[in-house]
Amino acid sequence: MPEIKLKIDDLVLDHDNPRITHAEGQQDALQKIVRDQKAKLVKLAESIVANGLNPMDRLLVLRLNQKPERFISLEGNRRIAVFKLLTKPEVMTGLEMPGAMKGAFQRMAKEFKKSRVEPLSCFELASREEARYWLNLRHNIGHEGASVEDWKSLAKRRFEGKTPVLQALELVTERAGLTAAEQASITEKFPTSTLERFLENRSVRRELGLDVKNGKLVTKLPADEVAKPLRKIVLDLATKATRVNRLMKTDDMLSYLRKDLGKDHMPDLSKARLTERSLDEIPVTEFTKIKSRGPRRKPDPSDRKVVVPNTCKLNVTQNRTAEIYKELRTLRLDDARNAIAVLLRVFLELSVDYLLTKHGVPLKVTPAPGGRQIWKSLDVKLADAVGILVKIGVPATDFNAITRAVVIRTSPIHIDLLHRYVHDQFQTPVSKELAAAWDHAQPLFERIWP
């Protein structure tokens, strides 16, 4: 996917852009984008005219076989539409556009300078099919972190700066002695707006012994007294112990403080000191550490000391392979990662070779008629082994994990990664990745060595 530099005139709109139905030509495509985007297209144009293009965004393009050479914009059609309207405002003559929208683009066209955005940074793709993965990643939510993730409430607040609500939250989460379970309850979905409503209300702040000065929460109370009510409020909101819609008005909030918090959680205002300080200025050492013994954690099977879990019992009948299996069962992950990585690679290949030989499948292949025989690559032999097992009645789904893992580059058992463990002086194995690699391969091992 090479990067190329293009001019605005080199780019054309995609007639099959998913934002619109199929367009019959460039003018039709532009009309459909204008109709679909309306005021949002104006906002995008205003941003481009004032600030240029977002340096974090690139255009994905597909070369057209025509002269002069042109490129379809597979990603970035809104931007291309804006460029067309700003650089050639006469195209608006044939478009159905609200008068205010047309007037805005006519004004911006007089200010816009191509030099602010050209040359355009683009990535050329070989086909639409190649683009599907990247477009799906860019425009659909999810993908377990592989795509752009929207900021949740707390992340947005942090970006805005350390506001009073964040100052209160940080005091609770970092210095109020929360247990692990309590910490875990305060997620990115925490209702910051409700806590903000508390802290913005003067009557509430007075009862909590707090005030806001120059954007900072300040208090005259000692550490534990100021933490007491904030801890309770934050945990009640996080765990939904109190409903947000109960806390909309001053009377509701004061009633909650006096009845739900009561003496156990409200601060002793008589302990107020003469000097005032911000919450950030209270030293950590002033807070009492709350000792709490939570429930004993059940053993996690993934926290094993060796790469082979105790529950895995293989009947390895080949002498050398059996010795390697024994070493894999005894070597500790934290002490012998490099040795385990190499042995795991060898054990996988020897196991596959054993199965292929047992079923009369050759380990070598002749690439061309009359050519020299060469050894099959591990991924090819692995596919042959899975094919044998499926043929004798083992469900193919048993091997989904390993067949996917050996070809996904981020997988701990990717063929290239296993190879680099042996040959790359800079590739350092990670204990958890080695354990995960074994877990992917274990269903295969259990069928080869029943």
Domain ranges of the chain: 3-145, 153-286, 319-448
- How far is C-alpha 8 from the chain's CA centre? 32
The residues that bridge with 240 in the sheet, in sequence order, are: none
- Phi, psi values for residue 147, rounded to 5°: -100, -175
- What's the rounded Cα separation, in Å, for the pair 203 and 272? 17
pLDDT at 41: 93
Reading across the β-sheet that carries 216-219, which strands appear in turn? 210-213, 216-219, 277-278
Amino acid 386: pLDDT: 87
Question: pLDDT at position 298, please?
Answer: 55
Q: Are 352 and 318 in contact (CB under 8 A)?
A: no
Task: Work out the number of other CB atoms within 10 angstroms of the CB of residue 19.
Answer: 14
Nearest to 366 by CA among 379, 375, 357: 375
Query: What is the distance between the alpha carbons of residues 383 and 385, in angstroms, rounded to a whole number?
Result: 5
Of 419, 395, 415, the C-alpha closest to 405 is: 415
What is the share, in percent, of the chain residues with pLDDT greater than 90? 39
Span of 103-112, 166-175, 220-229 with lowest mean pLDDT? 166-175
Task: Please give the pLDDT value at position 359.
Answer: 92
* pLDDT above 60 for 61: yes
For 312, other C-beta atoms within 10 Å of its C-beta total: 15
Burial class (CB in 10 A: 0-12, 13-18, 19+), 122: buried
Q: Does 147 score more than 50 pLDDT?
A: no
User: Alpha-carbon distance 91 to 174, whole Å?
Assistant: 58
Average pLDDT over residues 142-170: 67
Neighbours of 108 (CB within 10 A): 19
**Residue % of the chain over a pLDDT of 70:** 87
Residue 411 in this model has a pLDDT that exceeds 90: no
Pairing of strands 210-213, 216-219: antiparallel
